[in-house]
A and B are shown apart, each in its own frame.
Chain A
């Protein structure tokens, strides 16, 4: 009983000691941050081409803020896993210029009454909001990022999913001219392109699941999955597929890129879970970029009270 209660507290993130939570005055409010970013933009720095990105207006949604300090813009945009550019974390920032995000369309199709191809400009007209989410990479590091976007369910409602729709599949653009990492290497392809990911329909309709078009008050930098990506904060980062060209409602569980590449290491669900280790490392702790000391990883990345109910009765060790 006690154990059960303890687990419930963990699911809600109540086991985080107050000392771990950043004092309110310590985290930057958005205005102060933007002032800081503007100062940085004025400073003659050779590596800040990102500052030329278009600003994106979006009201801060007070329901999705965090006491955690934000990860710096520089770190968010220079330390990325985006195999389409290359397998090194520095590759996406270094090679991002080859990705052209206009023209860009996103097909939303499959088990729905009104399939539709959306132009990116149309997607930018959805009701955008800023949300601060934790991002927990499966490699045991994490960030805190102010994203701009809208809930996926707003998009899915437009196409009217049928009763057959049980899952959603996300597909990333395939274009080796824009994505040098998609070229065949000496030892074959890095992954079986296109990159695909998937969610159960209830996960896709969950208010936390955010279709994302910007971060830090600007449109998405290419290396962060421009122009249109999904962000699912309670799952490991690789679930949040980038540079999407297709969203498909399906009756069957979709195949996902990392699950195909290494099924024993990456499952379909991939919920952040400190109790289920990756075969090659523990998931109990993580390193918040750029801190040195590790911190405890939270169940469902700290979003347990919002999402745990979707997995009641499921063996999360089996459905990892």
Chain B
């Protein structure tokens, strides 16, 4: 994609992602955040984080399905913005909701499964945020970096579980998030299975050295594609 198109796309992601935060800040200043502001702020931040995380998880499936390259260029930005919202969400929980009642919060993390998985998702995303720079990709090497960043799937599943388990009976919004996550993971799984079959077919070629060469070449191509996309 042309440089200009890429800039516009990224600017649009920035604006759209920070919009909910702007609305919250405006509501805070106008004292117009429902009767239970802390609860409202916590929920809005968490929901935005989950939307961004699922959107970042949706970029690769878009490439798989439509062979577009532009979604990959937004993946890291979306992931980092999701991480940012999760951090603010967590800070509000600590500082405003529980006012640094560490013992009580610690008990909650251990006793309440929905909080446990939420904290776990945050913890998993920390190394990913740290290693999100170009320099880190080079330092770790493409293959190892990609392996590490598969943790984002785990974080996505934990994030949706967090939402499902905290919602009371009758609330259906979390189901839609679970469905979206399921579809995104299914596309990945389908693609993975397809590639595996293809590489197996290669390995069954009569001449093993050639087969190996082709497989290695395919792998190199795939990883360089990934690196270029970043």
In which size bucket is the chain B interface? Answer: 20 to 34
User: Is residue A311 contacting chain B, with contact meaning CB distance below 8 A?
Assistant: no
A141 to B170, alpha carbons, bound, how many Å? 19
Number of residues in A with C-beta < 8 Å to the partner?
A: 32
CB <8 Å contact, B170 and A79: no
Residue of B nearest to A186 (CB): B172
Q: Encode contact with B along A161-190: 1 for CB under 8 Å, 0 otherwise.
A: 000000000000000000000000111001
Knowing A141-B39, A290-B36, A292-B96, say if A187 contacts B169 (CB, 8 Å): no
User: Is residue A89 contacting chain B, with contact meaning CB distance below 8 A?
Assistant: yes
For window 55-113 of chain B, which residues contact chain A by CB distance below 8 Å? Answer: 96-99, 104, 107-108, 111-112
User: Is residue A50 contacting chain B, with contact meaning CB distance below 8 A?
Assistant: no
Task: Name the contact of B165 in the complex, choosing from A277, A280, A290, A293 (C-beta under 8 A).
Answer: A280
Residue of A nearest to B170 (CB): A190
User: Is residue A281 contacting chain B, with contact meaning CB distance below 8 A?
Assistant: yes
Knowing A187-B175, A292-B96, A293-B99, say if A83 contacts B170 (CB, 8 Å): yes
Q: Encode contact with B along A72-108: 1 for CB under 8 Å, 0 otherwise.
A: 0011001100010001011000000000000000000
CB <8 Å contact, B37 and A292: yes
User: Is residue A7 contacting chain B, with contact meaning CB distance below 8 A?
Assistant: no
User: Is residue B114 contacting chain A, with contact meaning CB distance below 8 A?
Assistant: yes
For window 276-292 of chain A, which residues contact chain B by CB distance below 8 Å? Answer: 277, 279-282, 284-285, 287, 289-290, 292
CB <8 Å contact, A185 and B108: no
Task: Name the contact of B169 in the complex, choosing from A141, A191, A281 (C-beta under 8 A).
Answer: A191
CB <8 Å contact, B37 and A290: yes
Knowing A78-B34, A141-B36, say if A282 contacts B104 (CB, 8 Å): yes
A75 to B39, alpha carbons, bound, how many Å? 14
For window 10-32 of chain A, which residues contact chain B by CB distance below 8 Å? Answer: none
CB <8 Å contact, A90 and B34: yes
CB <8 Å contact, A79 and B108: no
* Secondary structure dominating the interface of A: loop
* Most chain A CB inside 10 Å of its own CB: which residue of B99, B111, B168: B168
CB distance from B66 to the nearest CB of A (A): 27
Knowing A191-B169, A262-B169, A294-B99, say if A280 contacts B37 (CB, 8 Å): no
CB distance from B42 to the nearest CB of A (A): 11
- Chain A residues, Cβ within 8 Å of B170: 83, 87, 190-191, 261
A285 to B104, alpha carbons, bound, how many Å? 10
CB <8 Å contact, B99 and A289: no
Q: Encode contact with A along B23-37: 1 for CB under 8 Å, 0 otherwise.
A: 000000000001111
Of the A-B pairs whose beta carbons lie under 8 Å apart in the complex, a sample of 14, sorted by A's number, is A79-B35, A87-B168, A87-B171, A89-B34, A139-B168, A141-B39, A261-B170, A262-B168, A282-B104, A282-B107, A289-B36, A290-B36, A292-B38, A294-B99
Chain B residues within 8 Å of A, Cβ to Cβ = 34-39, 96-99, 104, 107-108, 111-112, 114, 165-166, 168-172, 175
